[in-house]
């Protein structure tokens, strides 16, 4: 789409947009679209084409007016030159912020190897951790993350995104050191809880922070960078676990090294800017303009100023809503207001799907599981699973904005069901001679053990491509004034389901057998697939405000496709018009 200076017809509507913004800067001013007239120096054929195009441009201007009235940023109004080109500055922002994902992934992977090698270091000589103690140590992190995620979004709306991420890093450093110095199960659980608190804060805010700095066409890809970092952290954790596996007290190094990336991010945060939205809310307009100028490095100064102007109008609306409502009222609106409620159902549903699929239990207990079925180097085998997760997350990084969120979920979910079903069948035949349960030290068929590993790889590859990434796009589902609250609630749902699955996994394996447990996870994945099919609209290519408008009259599965189709048509029309006028101007000059 051309810049305001490129197309004369687009400039007419751009002037309308400026008038809207000017009126919005005064809350008492009403506003209407100004009647526009096409240039008179056109042929009849050109006038016909202009009339056809103006219908679409009128629609664009009306959408801009509606979006601004709702308190959001209409990206249709602020497309600038080179916006589709991601600058080095944006990549560095995303990279530095994605270290939060690395911390999340590292902690998830490192505990798997640590549980195998702790031995009697946390108890009396010769004692081993019981299943209950393992579940408590694992679940303490999840409980901490649940608490952290519950307060993170609301806290960041008041203090800013950077302070919350900094707080998360400090807590993570303290927790990592506390774990490495633990000599009792209680001390270990306390350290794990602190780690979880930091992870919960960061897991909610990092994707939100990245989304607020990313253009529409690349928003999904930028957020997936955080998930790439999560999977990369898991790979690093398994590699470190394998390196220290045979060292006495090596698990202390495994958990303690988690403080290193947290300290590194803390240093990076000194040089990272605050979200422009937060800067404008605090009245730091010059700083916001400088940040946007670096993000949109290929834009003209006027275009950057327009970005700031649009953002200021949106923030003004957000402030007005915040000042006229209490926090409790905004929380209640998540249930009472149909648009917010639908967005919340989808966000929480996707996050629940991610966790009840059982993936994180595989990450937490993979080394324990592979050791039980006869693998001599269980941590190294777990590294294969973590590596698969990392590689297929890169696939999602490339295609999530091309294929779309909804489609990638619908394509990948059946693969998860297939992998888990195959695992359930394999465990059934694997444990026939041991009464359907896994017995440490028992001899198992290498054929069925290998098939378990293959089924896990199929499952993990499918998970990483879809449900491992898409739920973290949750911030795009909520309106500006409730975005922090919505992301907090949905992230809390993630950790609540994580807590439920992680704290019951070993007990579930004992109660209904490994075959039954993985069969249950397969059934839950099928329900998640049905949920996506019925309720989840396609959001790729839509601005944050357009996504919100999808939920006006339902879950918007068909409406979103219609909106995306109309937007593509509009973009092609405006671009073609700009090219025609550019060619016409060149001919006139020559």
Q: What are the domain boundaries of the chain?
A: 88-297+325-541
pLDDT class of 343 with cuts at 50, 70, 90: very high
CA dihedral 218, 224, 228, 234 (to 10 degrees): 170
- Contact 458/465 with Cβ under 8 angstroms? no
- Which pLDDT belongs to residue 579? 64
**Which secondary-structure segment (H or E) carries 352?**
helix 338-356
Which ranges in 128-284 belong to alpha helices (H)? Answer: 131-159, 161-180, 185-211, 219-244, 250-256, 259-269, 276-281
Dump pLDDT digits (tens) for 474-487.
888 887 778 888 88
- Contact 293/304 with Cβ under 8 angstroms? yes
The stretch 517-544 carries a mean pLDDT of 90
Question: The whole model's pTM is what?
Answer: 0.70
User: What is d(CA 545, CA 73) in angstroms, rounded to the nearest whole number?
Assistant: 6
Dump pLDDT digits (tens) for 19-52.
544 444 443 333 333 333 344 444 555 444 445 4
Residue 93 has φ and ψ, to the nearest 5°, of -60, -50
The stretch 513-540 carries a mean pLDDT of 93
The SS3 call for residue 36 is coil
pLDDT class of 80 with cuts at 50, 70, 90: low
Please determine, for residue 177, whether its predicted confidence score (pLDDT) is greater than 80.
yes
Question: Which superfamily does CATH assign the domain made up of 88-297+325-541 to?
Answer: MFS general substrate transporter like domains (1.20.1250.20)
Dump pLDDT digits (tens) for 391-439.
998 888 888 888 889 999 999 999 999 999 999 999 999 888 888 887 7
DSSP state of 297: T
- Which pLDDT belongs to residue 213? 73
User: What is d(CA 389, CA 290) in angstroms, rounded to the nearest whole number?
Assistant: 38
pLDDT class of 68 with cuts at 50, 70, 90: very low
Largest Cα–Cα separation, the chain: 94
Please determine, for residue 525, whether its predicted confidence score (pLDDT) is greater than 90.
yes
- Which pLDDT belongs to residue 112? 76
- Which pLDDT belongs to residue 62? 54
Mean pLDDT rounded to a whole number for the chain: 78
Angle among Cα 151, 152, 157 to the nearest 5 degrees reads 105
The sign one gets for the Cα dihedral 422, 425, 431, 436 is: positive
Dump pLDDT digits (tens) for 89-142.
878 888 888 888 888 888 877 887 788 788 777 876 767 788 788 878 888 888
Distances from the Cα of 241 to the Cα of 37, 251, 270, 291, angstroms: 70, 7, 31, 40
Higher per-residue confidence, 238 vs 544: 238
User: What is d(CA 468, CA 351) in angstroms, rounded to the nearest whole number?
Assistant: 9
Which residue has 């605090």 as its token pair? 282
Please determine, for residue 490, whether its predicted confidence score (pLDDT) is greater than 80.
yes
pLDDT class of 376 with cuts at 50, 70, 90: confident
The stretch 249-256 carries a mean pLDDT of 88
Alpha-carbon Rg for the chain in angstroms: 26
**161-165, 350-354, 518-522: which range is least confident on average?**
161-165
The sign one gets for the Cα dihedral 20, 21, 25, 27 is: positive
Q: Put residue 435 in one of left, alpha, beta given phi > 0 → left and psi -120 to 50 → alpha.
A: left
> In the chain, what percentage of residues exceed pLDDT 90?
20
What's the N-to-C CA distance of the chain in angstroms? 26
pLDDT class of 86 with cuts at 50, 70, 90: low
Q: What percentage of the chain's residues is helix, strand, coil (to nearest 5)?
A: 80, 0, 20
Distances from the Cα of 574 to the Cα of 54, 55, 131, 293, 547, angstroms: 9, 11, 63, 25, 22
For the ranges 80-84, 253-257, 271-275, 291-295, the maximum mean pLDDT occurs at: 253-257
The stretch 369-398 carries a mean pLDDT of 83
| Nearest CA among 281, 284, 280 for reference residue 322 | 281
| Nearest CA among 66, 58, 18, 59 for reference residue 38 | 58
Higher per-residue confidence, 503 vs 193: 193
pLDDT class of 18 with cuts at 50, 70, 90: very low
Burial class (CB in 10 A: 0-12, 13-18, 19+), 23: middle
User: What is d(CA 529, CA 557) in angstroms, rounded to the nearest whole number?
Assistant: 14
- Contact 386/364 with Cβ under 8 angstroms? no
For the ranges 84-93, 287-296, 576-585, the maximum mean pLDDT occurs at: 287-296
pLDDT class of 168 with cuts at 50, 70, 90: very high
Q: Cα–chain-centroid distance for residue 28?
A: 37
> In the chain, what percentage of residues exceed pLDDT 70?
78
**Which secondary-structure segment (H or E) carries 460?**
helix 446-465
- Contact 315/72 with Cβ under 8 angstroms? no
For the ranges 3-7, 150-154, 180-184, the maximum mean pLDDT occurs at: 180-184
């Amino acid at each position: 789409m051309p810049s305001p200076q490129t197309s004369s017809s687009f400039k007419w509507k751009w002037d309308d947009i400026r008038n809207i913004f000017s009126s919005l800067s005064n809350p008492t001013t009403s506003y209407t679209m100004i009647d526009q007239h096409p240039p008179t120096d056109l042929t009849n054929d050109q006038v016909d084409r202009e009339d056809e195009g103006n219908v679409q441009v009128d629609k664009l201007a009306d959408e801009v007016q509606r979006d601004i009235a709702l308190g959001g940023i209409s990206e249709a109004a602020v497309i600038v030159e080179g916006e589709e080109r991601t600058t080095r500055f944006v990549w560095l922002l995303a990279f530095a912020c994605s270290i939060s994902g690395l911390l999340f992934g590292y902690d998830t992977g490192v505990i798997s190897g640590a549980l195998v090698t702790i031995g009697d270091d946390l108890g009396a000589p010769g004692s081993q951790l019981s299943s209950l103690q393992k579940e408590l140590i694992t679940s303490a992190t999840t409980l901490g993350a649940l608490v952290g995620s519950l307060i993170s979004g609301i806290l960041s709306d008041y203090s800013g995104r950077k302070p919350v991420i900094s707080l998360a890093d400090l807590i993570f450093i303290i927790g990592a050191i506390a774990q490495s110095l633990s000599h009792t199960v209680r001390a270990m659980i306390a350290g794990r809880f602190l780690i979880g608190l930091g992870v919960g804060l960061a897991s909610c805010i990092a994707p939100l922070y990245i989304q607020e700095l990313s253009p529409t066409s690349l928003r999904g890809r930028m957020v997936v960078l955080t998930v790439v970092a999560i999977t990369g952290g898991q790979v690093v954790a398994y590699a470190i676990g394998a390196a220290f596996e045979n060292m006495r007290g090596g698990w202390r190094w495994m958990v303690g090294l988690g403080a290193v990336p947290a300290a590194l991010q803390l240093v990076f945060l000194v040089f990272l800017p605050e979200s422009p939205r937060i800067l404008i809310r605090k009245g730091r307009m010059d700083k916001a303009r400088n940040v946007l100028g670096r993000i949109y490095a290929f834009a003209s100064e006027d275009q950057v100023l327009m970005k700031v102007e649009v953002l200021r109008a949106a923030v003004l609306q957000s402030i007005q809503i915040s000042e006229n409502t209490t926090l409790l009222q905004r929380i209640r609106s998540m249930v009472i207001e149909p648009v917010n409620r639908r967005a919340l159902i989808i966000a929480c549903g996707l996050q629940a799907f991610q966790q009840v699929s059982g993936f994180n239990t595989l990450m937490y207990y993979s080394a324990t599981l592979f050791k039980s079925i006869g693998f001599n180097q269980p941590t190294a085998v777990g590294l294969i699973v973590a590596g698969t997760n990392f590689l297929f997350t890169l696939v999602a990084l490339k295609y999530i904005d091309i294929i779309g969120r909804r489609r990638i979920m619908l394509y990948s979910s059946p693969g998860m069901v297939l992998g888990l079903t195959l695992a359930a069948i394999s465990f059934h035949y694997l444990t026939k001679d041991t009464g359907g349960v896994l017995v440490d030290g028992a001899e198992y068929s290498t054929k069925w053990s290998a098939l378990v590993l293959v089924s896990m790889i199929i499952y993990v590859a499918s998970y990483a491509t879809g449900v491992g990434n898409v739920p973290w796009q949750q911030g795009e589902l909520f309106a500006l004034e409730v975005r922090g609250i919505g992301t907090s609630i949905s992230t809390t749902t993630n950790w609540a389901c994580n807590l439920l699955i992680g704290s019951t996994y070993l007990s579930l394996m004992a109660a209904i057998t490994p075959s039954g447990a993985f069969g249950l996870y397969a059934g839950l994945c099928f329900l998640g697939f049905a949920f996506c099919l019925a309720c989840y609209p396609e959001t790729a290519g839509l601005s944050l405000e357009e996504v919100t408008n999808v939920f006006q009259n339902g879950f918007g599965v068909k409406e979103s496709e219609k909106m995306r189709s109309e937007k593509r048509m509009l973009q092609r029309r405006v671009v073609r018009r700009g090219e025609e006028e550019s060619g016409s101007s060149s001919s006139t000059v020559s």
